[in-house]
Every structure is written in C-alpha cells, then in structure tokens.
Structure 1
Amino acid sequence: MSLGERRKALGYSQETFAQALGVDRTTVGRWESGKTEPQPPLRPRMAEVLQLDLAALDGLVSESRTPAEGVAALRLTAHQGLRDADDMIRRDFLRAIAVTGALAALPTGETEELQDGSWRGMSDDFLRMNSHLWQVYELARSKSSIHPIVRGQITALSRTLRSRPAGEVTNLCGAAGDLFQLAGELAFDNNRFTDAAASYTVAASASKDASAYDLWACALVRHAYLDVHERHYREAAETLSAAERVARRGDSLLSTRHWVASVQAEAHAGMGDLAACERALDEAEQVRHLNEGSNNGGWLRFDGTRLAEERGARYVQLGRLDLAEQALQSALEQSALAEGHSFRRRGVVLTDLAAIGAKRRDPDHVITFGREALQLAQETSSGYLARRLHRLRAEFGSLSRDARVADLDAEINTLKTT
C-alpha cells in the first residue's frame, strides 16, 4: 500500500489530510508522487493521523517512490523541506497571534495574567537576540548558515506568545516584525522569492500591530525590493510610496525615510527617469546629517556608507558609465578599508564594474572585476550575488569570442542561485 492509498482508505482527501497536518495540499501531492519526503518533525503527527506506527509510516513513504524518482527526490527534499518547515513556522506564529489577539479583545478579568511579572523582560530578550542574529547575518560569508538559528528563534517566539498575557502581545509583535524581516532576507538570498514575500508580509502585519512605524516601513521596503529585483519597477514604486507615508509617522531621528528614498532611486532608474532618480538619491544623502544611532544595525542598517555604490549602480542602469565608474571605484575603496564589510556588497560592486566593461566592449575590464566577483560568489554561496553575475552574462554578447570572457561565462553558468 502506498501513502496515497492509505490516506484514501481512511477517508481523507488530499486537502483534508493537509489540513490535519498543517501543510499545503500541494505538499501532500509531492509526498505521494515521491518528489519529496515528509520532514522528521511532521512524522509523529502524520503517523497518528494515518493510524500507523513510525516504522510503518516510513515503509509507506518508501513505497511512494520509484527508483527513478528517488534520485530526483533526494535533490529536492532538502530544499522543499526547508520551504515546508518555514511555512509551518509562519502559520504557527499567525495562529498564536490570532489566539492572543482574541484574548486581548475579551473584557478585563477574562484573561489570565501572570503574577510574577517574569514576562516583562521577554520581548527585550528577543530583541537582543534578534540584534545579534542581524550582526551574524551581515558578517557571514554563507548567509544560509544562520537559517536554522532564525527558525528556532521564530519557533520560540511563537511558543512564548501562547504562554504570555494578552497585554504583552504588542511588544512581542515588534520582536516578530524584526525577526521575520531577517527570515525574509535569508529566503531572498536563497532565491526563494515567494517565501521572502510571505515573511515580509508577516513582518509588516506584526509591525503594524505593534504600532512600530519604522519597522513597518522597512518591511514594506524589503517587499518592494522583490519587485525591483524582478524589474517590476512601477509595482515597486507603489509599495515604496506606501512605505514613505508610513515612515513619516516614525521616528525622525532614524534613517528609515532615507532608506526608502534610496530604493525609490532604483525604481526611478529602472523606469529611465534620471531626474527623479537623482532627487531620490539627494534625499537619501540627507542621512549624513542625522546623529549617530540613526540606524540600529539590524533591520535598519542604512547609514549612508552604501551611497557611493548605490549611486554608481543607478548610473549603470541609466547608461551614465563615466559617472557610474567614478562612484563604484570610490565604493570599492571604501569597502576595502572598512572593518567587517559585507562580502556580498563588495561582490555586487565588482559585478557592476564588470558590467561597465561589458557595455564598453572592454574584455580586460570585464575580466579584472568579473573574476573577483565570481570568486566571492563561490566563497559565500550567495544566491543574490550569483543572480547578479548571471545577469552580467547577458551583457557579454560578442565579447564571448574572447577566450577569457568565454571561460568566465562558463564558470558563472555553474553558479547555483539557491
């Protein structure tokens, strides 16, 4: 008997079976077709629903896979399992928010309050841990290495929500708005755009519930950047306009509104509007007039140190190559001098400089900067940097007749974007 046959024998459709386990119907379909396997945390509940012991369940899972499918499934299981686990974590968090929100709406006296006051420092503890995780994320060569820790932190936050008094929900929502933005960054870097969008949406919703306007605006900026990355510039501009309005209600001493302007510049450049792009860049430059502490080093890291590379990248988009090269060379020198600089950021600057060489049909320029960017992509396993390099290949054209450029093109082609 296969997994699907057992499910049907017990009267479950794929949809009702999925609901019993807290997963999507398509996930059940993948299990039954042998494309993926249920992850270990799910199996006890799955065995219970199917009225089996774990050993019998393992046998059904194995039966669902043909030898040919097995090879492909082994390649897909880890990636799909990661997506399923992330989806379950988001659902668990939203369920906890729904329950505690309902309790908060009840009349006074109908909700249970803790007497010892031990919950008061919980949200601060989560925020401190979140801040540490952002620092690790910024410095890590391989961003995916911290994904398990972030998932664990979200799981702990969900459990805490279920055990806290309703009055503490607002503070914990702020911690969630922070943490889900980091989860979205990790998904984005791993080329999982739908997961990234889902995490940013949860982050925006939690931040709104916490009345944390700067946190909310930053979640919207990150969501807009998904459209920017996919070159849907008008859609991005609409989201950024909303982020701008939210940021106006935030803390004027923070750099949130300047970061919004920086990403708006990219959207304007994508639409070919040089004047609007430069106005937005000039607004972003005003961050330099803010006092120290205008960013928190976590969900808000915009402090002006990236403006040279941002301006250079925008000029590349607009075809102003001389202006672009000057700004990007300055950014490259700054990154070499900075302590704890991001390897991914340096790789992006190198890729933009290589793109300038490609547009000028200069193979030496392409090789000088493209080779170093490729090395950083290989060392960091950054899906984002790999995607930028794959876009660079589209600029090569006739330059690929040069053996060195052809070799670079072939090596970039082997980079994985996930």
Structure 2
Amino acid sequence: MGLAKRRKALGYSQEGLAHALGVDRTTVQRWEKHKASPQPPIRPKLAELLNIDLDELDVLVASPPPPEEAAGSPPSDHHGSGDIDDMIRREFLRAIAVTGALTALPVDEAEALAEGARRGASSDFTRMNTHLWQVYQLARSKGSVYPIVRDQMSSLNGALANRSDAEVPALCNAAGDLFQLAGELSFDSNRYTDAAASYMLAASASKDAQAFDLWACALTRQAYVDVYEERYREAAGVLAAAERVAKRGDSSLSTRHWVAAVQAEAFAGMGDLTACERALDEAEKVQNLATPAHNGGWLRFDGSRLAEERGARYVQLGRLDLAETALTTALKQGALAQGQSFRRRGAVLTDLAAIGAKRRDADQVITYGREALTLARESSSGYVARRLQGLRAVIGPLARDRRIAELGAEISALSTT
C-alpha cells in the first residue's frame, strides 16, 4: 500500500492531511508522487495521523507509486490547483466577469460598471476591484467570492493584452490590486503555494506600475505565507524589502506601520522579544496619522487590532501574563464584537485557549476553544481552522479530560472536511 492509498483508507483528502500537518497540499502530492520525502521533524506527526509507526511510515514513503500514479495520472481526490496562470488565460467575456459580482449594487451603477468592463477602462477595473474587496470582507464563506475574482482576472488579462503602452501602468495597478485579493482567497483556503504565486504576481505588477504602497503590501502578504508556515527568517527577509519599498510610498498611508506589525510576528517567531516590541511600537505610530490611513481594500491596517496583535506576539514568546492582558482587553473593548472579522475573532479566541492549555486550565481551553471552533464552522475559514490545529498541538497534556479529548477530536474532524 502506498501513501495515497493509506491516506484515502483513513478518509483524508490531500488537503485535509496537509491541513492537519500544517503543510501545503502540494507537499502531500509530491510525497505521494515520490518527488519528495517527508522531513524528519514532520514524520512522527504524519505517522500518528496515518495510525502507523515510524518504521511502517519509512516503508510506505519508500514504496514505488502505483502504476496509474507513476504514469502521471492525477490522484482521484485532486481538488484543482487553482493555478493563477491557468485562470488568467481563460478568456471569459467581460460581461460575465461583471454580471455575477454586481447583485449588491444599484442597477444604474451595475450597468455603468458592466459597460466599463466591456470598454476595458482601467478606472472601471479599479472600481470593480474595490467592490470585490467589500464583498470579500462581508462574505461569511470567503471561497464563494473566488469565481467572481477569477473571472475579473480573465477580463483584466484580456485588457492588458490589447492596450497601448500609455494605458499599461494603470492596468498594472489594477492587476496588483486584484492579484492580492486572489492571494487572500487562496490563503484563506490553505492553498499557500497558490497564495504565494498570486502575491508574487501582485508585487511584479505593482512594481511595473510604480505603485509603491501597493507593491509593499503585496510583499507583506507574501511574507505572511512564510510566517504561517513558521519560516520566520525567510519572512523577515521579505519584510525588510517591503519596509524599503514602503518608505518610497505615501507617508499619509499606514503601509509602513502594517509592515512593522508583520515584522513583529516574524521577530516573535524567532524568539526576539526586543525586536518584536520595537516593531510593535513602530506599528502603533499609525495612531498619529491625521488622515484616513487605509483604503479598505488591499490596505486595511488602521491600528484597531494592535491590542490583539500584541497579545498574539506575547503568546508566541511565552509571556502569558502580558498576552492574556492584551487579548482580554481587546475583547472587552469591543474591537472584536459580533460583525467584526471571523478571522480576527477566531485568532484571539484560539490564542486565549492556548494560554489556558499552557497553564493547564481545561476550563479556559474549552470556553475559548469551542467558540473558535464554532466560528471556523460558520465561516468555513481555513485560517481559523489552521489556528485551531495549532491549538490541538498544545492541548495534548490535558487529553485525559474528556471535554478536551472531544474538542481535539472535533478540531481534527474539521481539518478533513
């Protein structure tokens, strides 16, 4: 039996197994095609999920692939890579790209945007992108926005192919915006390779447009992929580049402060308390900006989440007293009240549950962990589910408590659906 057959026998999809392990789905695919082998640090967890010992796992990953896989046939549970290059090559009609996205707009505005898309004017793409960011932020299930974004990308690709040199910079600006949204959707679905590809394309398009704030934000989102896969040093390198680009941007915007907030997360992951706090202090300077600091689309950082950000960083650094104070304050202040981002609230609740686990406080784990689990189910957020997987990894010592065991099982089931 090969790795793929063992996985399927236990009811895991490639994406489900990858989620449980905290890796990209394409990593599992490469293991099954024998193009790569699981690294030693991840093997014990993989063996546990597959219900085998390490010796059996060694045999499993060393086995030749089944004939149909060796011949290059895709696995039967393949979900589609969502490859960005494939998407933008699809020549959908511009009318299709607009029609499905405008149900929430007044009829006259919808007609105006539809006509603009048919003309391919860069200003109309920009307006459409703004609308799509609004839809994305309001959607309970982020994945529902993906088909609309895909079609808009196809239309924009066609516009770029048929425009004069004078029009290209403005269209590149629109592309840098839209690719970031596509990356956000991929990231929230745990398709990290797709997200990284989107952010790279966004950075490239923004650079061509000489849109420095847009470019810096694309680089910052690129760094997020490394942060959430715990490649903190790699993330710090990308963020250093983002910091340099942001300094060339609009000083009235919050771009450089957002870069600092993400740098704090990378420094916390590296165990550097001093650098982390210095970056957080820099991020808090966003409060000094006199004008609106964000545009509600590709730049949304306004400092409103800094209390929870600081709390999360202290959790990473093991400073539980400081962490709990910051996170509890964020909840009490109503910054995460109902109607706010499920991702944000889910992250804070998970961090508070993790603090309980480290203190061996089962009641705190259950209180916050169950609320986060409910949010993950209601929103279908891969991000919150990913955070819950991190919680599952630290509640092991409390597993003798029946309630904790049940919570762990429900989190595990969440990752395979």
TM > 0.5 fold call: yes
**Structure 2 runs not aligned, ≥5 long:** 1-25, 34-66, 92-115
- Residues of 2 paired with 1:279 and 1:151: CA distance? 39
SS at match of 1:211: coil
Distance 1:319 1:362 in 2: 16
Higher mean displacement: 342-351 or 119-128: 119-128
Alpha-carbon contact 1:382-1:417 (below 8 Å) kept: no
Check 1:314–1:118 CA distance in 2 against 1; reply closer, same or farther (3 A cut): closer
CA contact (8 A) 1:269 1:317 kept: yes
Q: CA deviation at 1:193?
A: 1.0
Matched letter for residue 87 of structure 1: D
Q: Give the Cα separation in 2 of the matches to 1:310 and 1:151.
A: 31
Instruction: Supply the AA of the counterpart residue of 1:203.
Output: A
Residue 381 of structure 1 aligns to which amino acid in structure 2? S
Aligned counterpart, 1:135: 134
User: Deviation of residue 166 (structure 1)?
Assistant: 2.0
Cα deviation digits, residues 265-287 of structure 1 (max 9, x gap): 01111111111100000000000
Q: Which residue of 2 aligns with 1:181?
A: 180
2: CA distance, partners of 1:266 / 1:118 = 39
In structure 1, the residue corresponding to 2:292 is in which secondary structure?
Answer: coil
Aligned residue type for 2:85: D
Question: Deviations along 1:136-176, whole A, 9 cap, x unmatched?
Answer: 21222111010000001101111112232221000000000
The AA in structure 1 aligned to 2:182 is A
User: How much does 1:184 deviate?
Assistant: 0.6
CA contact (8 A) 1:90 1:199 kept: no
Equivalent runs, 1:364-375 vs 2, <5 Å? 364-375=363-374
Does the CA-based 8 Å contact 2:120-2:156 persist in structure 1? no
Within 2, Cα distance between the matches of 1:139 and 1:394? 31
- Segment drifting more, 133-142 vs 300-309: 133-142
Aligned to 2:218: 219
Deviation, structure 1 residue 321: 0.6
Q: Which residue of 2 aligns with 1:88?
A: 86
Task: Say if 1:272 and 1:318, in contact at 8 Å, map to a contact too.
Answer: yes
Within 2, Cα distance between the matches of 1:369 and 1:263? 24
Contact 1:387–1:417 (CA under 8 A) maintained in structure 2 = no
Stretch deviating more after TM superposition (224-233 or 159-168): 159-168
Checking the alignment, whether the CA contact within 8 Å between 1:171 and 1:210 is kept in structure 2 is: yes
Q: Which amino acid aligns with 2:221?
A: R
Q: Trace 1:278-317 onto structure 2 (pairs within 5 A).
A: 278-317=277-316
Relative contact order, higher structure (CA 8 A, sep 6+): 2
SS at the partner of 1:172? helix
The residue number in structure 1 matching 2:200 is 201
- Alignment partner of 1:254: what SS? coil
**Structure 1 residue 150 corresponds to structure 2 residue 149:** yes
* Cα distance in 2 between the residues matched to 1:229 and 1:399: 25
Name the structure where helix makes up a greater proportion of residues.
1
- 1:14-413 equivalent positions in 2, closer than 5 A: 73=76, 75-76=77-78, 79-80=79-80, 83-84=82-83, 86-90=84-88, 122-335=121-334, 338=337, 340-413=339-412
Return 363-372 or 184-193, whichever deviates more. 184-193
Q: Deviations over 1:248-267 (max 9, x none)?
A: 00000000000000000011
Aligned position for 1:113: none
SS at match of 1:394: helix
Conservation of the 8 A alpha-carbon contact between 2:366 and 2:407:
yes
C-alpha separation between the residues in 1 aligned to 2:310 and 2:276? 9
1-side partners of 2:320 and 2:226: how far apart? 24
Cross-structure match for 2:107:
none
Assess if the C-alpha contact under 8 Å between 1:119 and 1:164 holds in 2. no
More deviation in 326-335 or 124-133? 326-335
Structure 1 residues 234 and 320: CA distance shift in structure 2, 3 A: same
Which of the pair has more CA radius of gyration? 1
Q: Give the fraction of aligned pairs with identical amino acids, expressed as a percent.
A: 69
The CA deviation at 1:369 is: 0.1
Relative to structure 1, the CA distance from residue 153 to residue 335 in structure 2 (aligned partners, 3 Å threshold; closer, same or farther) is farther
CA distance in 2, matches of 1:378, 1:384: 11
Q: TM-score, normalised by structure 1?
A: 0.74
Letter in 2 for 1:389: L
**CA shift for structure 1 position 313:** 0.1
Q: Residue 389 of structure 1 aligns to a residue in which SS?
A: helix
Q: What's the offset of the Cα at 1:340?
A: 3.8
Shift of 1:397: 2.2
Number of residue pairs the alignment of both structures matches? 328
- Structure 1 CA distance, aligned partners of 2:265 and 2:85? 30
Equivalent residues of 1:383, 1:417 under 8 A apart? no
Partner SS state of residue 294, structure 1: coil
Deviation, structure 1 residue 416 = 2.8
The DSSP-based 3-state class of the residue aligned with 1:300 is coil
Rate the CA distance shift 1:219–1:162 in 2: closer, same or farther, 3 A.
same
Instruction: Give yes or no for contact 2:305–2:335 (8 Å, CA) kept in 1.
Output: no
Matches of 2:75 and 2:161, distance apart in 1: 39
Offset of 1:339 from its aligned partner? 6.9
- Shift in alpha-carbon separation, 1:338–1:295, aligned structure 2, 3 A: farther
Q: Which amino acid aligns with 2:329?
A: S
Q: CA RMSD in A?
A: 2.8
Letter in 1 for 2:125: F
Paired residue for 1:104? none
